[in-house]
Amino acid sequence: MKSFIPREVETLWTLFTAPVVWALHFAACYATVAVFCAKRLPASFSFDSVRIVLFVVTLMALGVIVFAAWLAWRQWGFGDDDPPHNEPTRDSRLLFQGFATLLLSGLSFLAVVYAAVPLMFIAECQP
């Protein structure tokens, strides 16, 4: 794994990994339900199966976020260098990126959990 994912990332984009996972998960939930409820096809496929599928998608999304969080945590030196990360050095910048990414992973994790709450309580397509 180490060889695939470098310990330090020289890009701004990793910051957005976890929120992007949230966005994809959200879009998947919304689109699946919207199409299922509008089309009602095939008839043999019940709404409960949709909920199960979306639960699995949720678990996968959470897995990816946890993985992103772990990478960020590693970049942050497993938490042994506290903020504010304001030194004029590349190291400090990397620590900042790690910490900010970790925080965003936390928020995204929560947001994905929130999005799964309706799946537990609402069992029909009805308006």
The answer to whether the CB of 75 falls within 8 A of the CB of 100 is: no
- Which parts of this chain interact with other proteins (CB under 8 A)? 10-12, 15-16, 19-20, 22-23, 26, 29-30, 33-35, 37-39, 82-86, 88, 90, 92-93, 96-97, 99-100, 103-104, 106-108, 110-111, 113-115, 117-127
Query: Closer CB to other proteins, residue 1 or residue 20?
Result: 20
CA distance 76 to 101: 9
Query: Closer CB to other proteins, residue 1 or residue 43?
Result: 43
Q: How far is CA 52 from CA 28, 46, 81, 110, in A?
A: 13, 10, 41, 20
Minimum distance from residue 1 beta carbon to other proteins (Å): 24
